[in-house]
Chains A and B, each alone.
Chain A
Amino acid sequence: MTTKSLKRFSYTVLVGPSILVYSLVIIFPVVVSLVLSVTAWSGFGLPKFVGLGNFVEMFKDSVFYISLKNNGLVVAISMFGQIPLGFVLAYFVYRRLVHAGKFFEVMIFLPITISQIVVAILWNRIFAPVGMFTSIIRDITGNPHYNFLMMQSPTFAIVPVLFVILWMYTGLYMIIFLSNLQKIPLSTLEAAVIDGATEGQILGHIIIPAMVTVLFTTAVLAISGSLTSFALIYAMTAGGPAHFTDVLALYMYYNTFSYYRYGFGSAISVVIVVLSMGLISITRAIANIFERRFA
């Protein structure tokens, strides 16, 4: 073999297996779901072409809108809960406002390591009649008959789910902010302090501008994280009561694997892919505009 073809051969050996596995498991199914999304198919016989019928039906289905709204709420709790809170916690540690910052960091990040299934079951126990939360409220209020009923309410059942998501993932955002805050050169901060800058000025003129890219990255993370929130909600509420806590992933799951509507389920998958790619592209575009302004 010539050196040139040897190089090409090596490249193929190095890169080929990854590309193959990735294409077969991720890209090929996406193509399959695109094809199936315009069919009606129960898994037996041949899929029947129905054009955009699945999408038309989906856009008339109230459960679709409930799922979409819940996905939106999960993004919102990340953007307006986890991201600001994670930033504040990271900032306290970064600016040494508390001692033993490392200890707090290790503890707050801990839930990330636990499976969503365990987290969901644990919090169901906490909110149960014989549960930690219920017992504490009974002790505080002196009302031995108190029960946590929010999870039976169609309107508010999603609230405990959102709280658990906040509980589980705030540490992740804290870690991301902290590791990026620590990249800001100390000399910049010292110079600002020597020049008599106030804490607010430091934050507004040094910290926030340096964090713009990271802020948008965490926003992207919030969006993609929301669309993957399957295991936690499945184990915690299974979408109940009556689909009021469904997210798109659960909506897809029930239609595909409980009702055996592979075509319809594929159409939902396509909507999930389009939504995540669309939202993330928009976020990135906005990020670019901001970066140009600050840079």
Chain B
Amino acid sequence: MKRRSIGTVSPVARTIAYIVMILFTVLTIAPLVWMLYSSFKLNSEIMQSTLGLPTHPTFANYVRAWDLGNMGVLFGNSVFYTGVATAIIVVLAVSTGYGFAKFRYRITSFLYFFIMLGLLITVQSVLAPLFIVETKVHLADTRLGVLIPYVAFGLPVAVYLATAYIKGIPDSLEESAIIDGASYLSIFRSIILPMSRPVVATITILAFLNNWNEFPLIFILTSRDVIRSLPVGINEFAGAVNQDYGLQFAALVIGTLPMIVFYLFFHERMAQGFAEGALKE
């Protein structure tokens, strides 16, 4: 929907607005553009001309970074953790949201408050004890030991969004299904889940983004390279090839590109999800 500005706006205000907007946009995008085109330059060319566009664009950095940095394994791990954790978060959040929104038990308000408390507890404040606990039960340095915390930390905001949304689904639908003899769990599958599609999309996108970029948990809870993810791997790789900027840029782009593509497709929902997720009161 196109809408013109209401009232008249002075040209001066307009000019200032444009200057601020363009300046900020350039500041935001320029580093990313520099990263992208530098990744097609060999290190020697970066050293000679830091700002110049690639004279002989090459994929050599990507080939070497993929190989040396074990990017294939890291990429696969990132996809695995992100995909599995996100799927579990969505299912658990919607089922919990259904329980919280439609079952009028007195314990619900307590349990809801209990989970919302998690919004105030940062990952950092449980890192040390979580590591100790996982070590004691032999979950540290395993894939499961990464997935479980990913799910747990994704839950509070996802449950918040799901509960708020499912509260808006009319009770009458559920009630008539109960009169027809449907069980609660079949109502969950055949009514609640399909009707929650918009909030499922929002939760999926938020959880996907958070899990893909997650660093502290997997960094602390794992030590074997074969089960680590892109952010941890890229950080180590960048340290190891400290002197070769070309390789570093290629690694950075490998870690960034999937999310940027994802973002360009789902920008609208992602923005909406962030705005809603932030307003958890």
Contacts and interface: CB of A to CB of B under 8 A. Distances in A.
Interface in A92-129: 92, 95-98, 104-118, 121-123, 125-126
Given A22-B156, A121-B234, A256-B128, 18 more contacts: A7-B103, A10-B184, A10-B185, A15-B95, A17-B92, A89-B20, A110-B29, A111-B32, A113-B263, A115-B234, A132-B34, A135-B51, A167-B28, A179-B276, A189-B6, A217-B281, A231-B219, A252-B127
B47 A130 contact: yes
Contact of B21 (A36, A104, A123, A179): A104
Interface in A257-295: 257, 262, 265-266, 269-270, 272-273, 276-277, 280
A243 B263 CA distance: 35
Contact of B27 (A17, A29, A115, A167): A167
Interface stretch (A51-59, A152-160, A222-230): A222-230
Nearest to B280: A217
Given A26-B152, A29-B130, A249-B124, A117 B47 contact: no
A92 B17 contact: yes
Nearest to A267: B128
B153 A26 contact: yes
B110 to A, nearest CB: 11
A186 to B, nearest CB: 7
B231 A253 contact: no
A221 B185 CA distance: 36
Given A96-B5, A227-B122, A123 B152 contact: no
Interface in A160-180: 167, 170-172, 175-176, 178-180
11 contacts: A14-B103, A22-B156, A89-B24, A97-B13, A108-B24, A115-B259, A121-B238, A126-B31, A228-B123, A253-B220, A257-B220
Residue with the highest number of chain B CB atoms closer than 10 Å, among A30, A85, A97: A97
Contacts of B103: 7, 10-11, 14
B39 to A, nearest CB: 11
B158 to A, nearest CB: 9
Interface in B253-281: 255-256, 259-260, 262-264, 267, 270-272, 274-276, 278-279, 281
The dominant DSSP class at the A interface is helix
Interface string A120-150: 0111011000111011100100000000000
A276 B215 contact: no
B40 interface: no
A247 to B, nearest CB: 9
B99 A95 contact: no
Interface stretch (B61-69, B112-120, B195-203): B112-120
Interface string B176-189: 00000001110010
Contacts of B279: 176, 180, 214, 217
Interface residues of A, number: 100
Nearest to A43: B132
Given A10-B183, A114-B259, A95 B129 contact: no
B152 A14 contact: no
Nearest to A106: B267
A132 B13 contact: no
B278 A108 contact: no
Interface of B: 3-7, 9, 13-14, 17-18, 20-21, 24-25, 27-32, 34-35, 46-47, 50-51, 92-93, 95-96, 98-100, 103, 105, 111, 114-115, 117-133, 148-149, 151-153, 155-156, 159, 183-185, 188, 209, 212-213, 215-216, 219-220, 230-232, 234-235, 238, 245, 248-249, 252, 255-256, 259-260, 262-264, 267, 270-272, 274-276, 278-279, 281
A228 B276 CA distance: 20
A74 B7 CA distance: 38
B99 A115 contact: no
A277 B279 CA distance: 17
Contacts of A276: 120-122, 125
A89 B21 contact: yes
Contacts of A27: 114, 117
A113 B216 contact: no
Contacts of A123: 31
A27 B155 CA distance: 13
Interface string A216-260: 011001001001101100110000000000001100110011000
Given A193-B7, A252-B124, A125 B25 contact: no
A28 interface: yes
A182 to B, nearest CB: 10
A98 B18 CA distance: 6
A82 to B, nearest CB: 12
Given A21-B151, A114-B256, A230-B216, A180 B275 contact: yes
Contacts of B267: 106, 109
Contacts of B248: 121, 125
A14 B98 contact: yes
B203 to A, nearest CB: 13
Contacts of A7: 103, 184
A46 interface: no
Contacts of A186: 3, 6
Contacts of A170: 24
| A-B CB proximity, top 6 nearest | A25-B152, A10-B184, A96-B5, A29-B129, A97-B17, A179-B275
